[in-house]
Structures are given as structure tokens and as C-alpha cells.
Amino acid sequence: MATTVNKFINSDVFSTATRVYDDENLTIVSADGFYAFNDQYRNQLNGELGPLVSCPSCDPAPPPGGLTCSTSVPGPSATGAYTLEINTGSTAADVGAMVFYFGSGQIPDGILFTFQGNTYNTLASPQNGIITAPAGLAVYMGSTTGDGFCGIVSGSPYNSAPSNNAYVYDDATNNWASDGSKNYTVANNQLTLFATDPGRCAIVIPKVTASGNNTLTVEIFSPCGSVWGFDMGHPGSCPSALSSRQASFNQGSSLVCGNSEQSIYYNYSYNSRGFPANSPSAPEPELYNFVFSDQNGQTPLAAGNYTVFASAFNGSGQSIITVDSNGAITSTSSCASCTNKIFISSIQSICSTFCDGTNRTISLQKETLACDSYLTVASGDIILGGILAPGFYAYAATSTDTQTGPFRIMQIVSSGGQNEVSSILECSGGTCIFL
């Protein structure tokens, strides 16, 4: 049951008040939350009361963020600022990545997400890639064919919004309700325009804990009155684990096929409206997907190239994805096959052990990340495959042994979960010397 308390409002009636106060002098603004009177309630957010809603039951105060992330939200065409609150769940199972899609069309519209004290404004267009704005500001997108509308022009330093009407989404009526006014402006560094409609743009918001505030606030700004679309009515938008693929470690600039050494996680398809994690229909990673090292979408992959292995149900094979500093895939290509092979022995803790005359087999086939031949392996190279214990390994151009064929010795160290060659040596007079 809700608690009855004494509060004060700046109006004679609850329906026309704009704020709830703790004192009769109206100097102490009450905490944000739901306030009810005579079987009606209003949500106070950022010190401002939202629209009046009739209570559906005897309990006047519904849980915060009553709109769930599986609800369909209509996109109106009127100018103004639109706010909706999404309840992302409060149980231990309600964690994961939240994937949302926004489409502005040709005429610019803006969007900003706020969740658990952080703002999010970096989206990816399926045709154009990353769209973003300075931290904490809404990102506006559209096409150059629509940039003349209502004074939003590419290159202008500052624009006054032609409309400050404000609306809030009422989950009780599944429609937008008037919420007074909101002043907003559009600066040049908030606006990204393309030759055509940027399409259905994706954003990934991580949720790693269900403790604290679980309400996601979405603000959409439509200064020109265009019809925009906000997409959250599909499996990808609620907190859930991202789809995964096996991939290599970061290959830097190398386009040579690497070995499967880690799982990477990525957001859903732009066109197929998403799939649950590990679904048999889940698409392969595609251009401008965001890619992460964790299933919650918290840590983007570092910039570089990665060999990605196709899923078991979507065919076999592998390809190279190039990831930028935003953690987005900027290109995909077939990876080059490495024709150079080397062979290594079992480990020895002391290099000179290989020089004592005992015959030791060199038969385990390996490749380097740079596709080196036997004679070109050098310090700093990465040996692909499973993790090797740090120590010394004899290596050769063919499957051989330490008495039959020529060989060298490499020292392997562990670096970032990879097998890094720290030095190259060879036997001389029963001891090891550096090459």
C-alpha cells in the first residue's frame, strides 16, 4: 500500500499543479516519484509533475517506469520534445544489453538516453556508420535534403527550436500526453546529415546491475515536426545477453586468418528486428554492428582486425572484421590464408637444454599472426593457437627433430592472453646465443 503523507502544491487543484513541495512556503521541492490524490496520480521527474493519470486499481502508485521495454510506442508528427520512461526490470535476471533503434527519416530529429546516471548518444546507421554528439547532448540525424526545414542547417553554429511543446508517454492510455513546455536548442556539433535517410539506427545500452534506479529515460526532440520511429518492441531491446561468435584476439592491422581464441558479442541485425541470444536464426555480425568483449555490451572491442568464425547453424568459414574506436564494425572481408607454417617442440624451462645433444621432436604445426616463415619469425611476433606456457621452444620449417633438421629456439611469454615471442636464439657450443 502507498504511504499517506502531507505535501504541498503550487495550485488549488492537483491536476493543474506543476510541482510538489515538502513545505507550505513552497521552497523545498519534494523528491521525484509518483504522487496520488483522489484516485489519480502524477509522476514528478526532475522536479516537474507529469500528466494526470487515473489509477487502474485501489493502489494509487504504480511502479516507476511502468512502460516495459516490450511495448510498442507510436511516433507522432507534431513538433516538440517527447519523453518516455521504460521500466527495465528490478530482478537479478534483468541484466544484459538493451538494444534500441531510432529512425529520423530525412528531416532531422534528436534523441538522448539516460540510464543509471549515464547518458548515451552514440548510434550507428546501417548505411553510414557512427552518429554521435558531445557527451550529455542529444544527437540529431537526418539527410541534407531535409536540412532546410525549420532553421536547422548544416554548418550553423546555433539554432533556436521553433517549438517547445513537451509531451510525455502515458502507458495507461498508450499515447502521448501534453506535459507543458521544454526549451531546447540544436548546435552544429549535435547534427549529422547524410545524402539520404540514415535509416534505422541502433544503440546498445549496458545494464550490469538491477540495483538502484532501473528506469531508462528516452528524450526525443522533433523541432521540425517530422515523423520519427522509436523501436523497442522486439527481443533485442529488453536486457538480455548479446549474440556471440568465436573470434581471434585483436590482430592489429593483420588481415591473415587467426585462430579462435575468444568469444565476441554483438548487437542484433538492423533489418531483421533482432533475435534472442544464440537463436538459430541469429544473424552473423554485420557492417556497423557494435561489438563487445562482454555479453552485457559494457566493454567495446578495441580497434583492430579480428577473425570471426561463422556460427554452426549459419554455415562454416571465417572472415575478417575491422573494428573502429567506437567498437563498431567498419568493414568485413574474406581473410587471407597463411601459407607459411612452422613447427615447434614441447616446452623447456632452460634454453640450453636444447643444446645438450638429446634428440627432441619438433612436430607441432603453428602459424604466426604475421604469417612468418621459419627464417622471418622475430621478437614481438604472436604464435596463434591455444595458449602456450611461458618458456623455450625449438622451432623449424618442417616437422623434424633437433638432430635431423636445422632449428632455432624461441622464448614465449604471455602478453594480453597471447603467445608473444620475446627473443630468438640458437645453439652454439652447448649454450644459447641471441640472434
pLDDT in the model for residue 273: 46
pLDDT beyond 80 at 327:
yes
- 212 and 87 in a common domain: yes
- 72 and 47 in a common domain: no
- 189 and 90 in a common domain: yes
pLDDT in the model for residue 298: 94
- 48 and 138 in a common domain: no
Residue 264 maps to a domain: no
Q: How far apart are CA 275 and CA 267, in angstroms?
A: 9
- 124 and 27 in a common domain: no
Distances (CA, A) of 167 to 50, 207, 222: 9, 26, 11
- 405 and 369 in a common domain: yes
pLDDT in the model for residue 279: 46
Residue 65 and residue 211 in contact, taking contact as beta carbons nearer than 8 Å: no
pLDDT confidence of 259, banded at 50, 70, 90?
confident
- 192 and 147 in a common domain: yes
DSSP 332: E
Tell me whether strands 342-345 and 391-396 are parallel, antiparallel or unpaired.
Answer: antiparallel
- 176 and 32 in a common domain: no
- 147 and 35 in a common domain: no
Residue 78 maps to a domain: yes
Residue 167 maps to a domain: yes
- Name the burial class of residue 167, with classes exposed (0-12), middle (13-18) and buried (19+) by CB atoms within 10 angstroms of its CB: buried
Q: Report which listed range, 13-22, 93-102, 354-363, is most confident.
A: 354-363
Q: Which of 32-46, 60-74, 91-105, 215-229 has the lowest mean pLDDT?
A: 60-74
Residue 400 maps to a domain: yes
pLDDT in the model for residue 212: 84
Nine cell digits for residue 153: 542547417
- 226 and 92 in a common domain: yes
Span 250-256, average pLDDT: 86
Residue 45 maps to a domain: yes
pLDDT in the model for residue 306: 93
Span 178-191, average pLDDT: 87
pLDDT beyond 70 at 125:
yes
Last residue within a domain, chosen from 202, 231, 260: 231
pLDDT in the model for residue 237: 58
Q: Which of 43-47, 125-129, 296-300 has the lowest mean pLDDT?
A: 43-47
Tell me whether strands 48-49 and 318-323 are parallel, antiparallel or unpaired.
Answer: unpaired
For the chain, what is the domain count? 3
What is the value of pTM for the model shown? 0.70
pLDDT confidence of 27, banded at 50, 70, 90?
confident
Question: Which residue would you say has higher pLDDT here, 333 or 133?
Answer: 133
- 221 and 104 in a common domain: yes
Residue 330 maps to a domain: no
DSSP 78: S
pLDDT confidence of 66, banded at 50, 70, 90?
low
- 114 and 35 in a common domain: no
State the average pLDDT for the chain: 84
pLDDT confidence of 278, banded at 50, 70, 90?
very low
Question: Which residue would you say has higher pLDDT here, 8 or 4?
Answer: 8
Residue 110 maps to a domain: yes
In 144-242 the beta strands, taken as DSSP E runs, fall at 158-160, 165-170, 175-181, 185-187, 191-194, 201-207, 215-222, 229-231
Residue 245 maps to a domain: no
Q: How far apart are CA 421 and CA 324, in angstroms?
A: 27
Residue 242 and residue 97 in contact, taking contact as beta carbons nearer than 8 Å: yes
Q: How far apart are CA 275 and CA 281, in angstroms?
A: 7
Last residue within a domain, chosen from 231, 263, 287: 231
pLDDT in the model for residue 255: 85
* Structural domain containing residue 401: 342-434
Q: How far apart are CA 211 and CA 420, in angstroms?
A: 41
pLDDT beyond 80 at 220:
yes
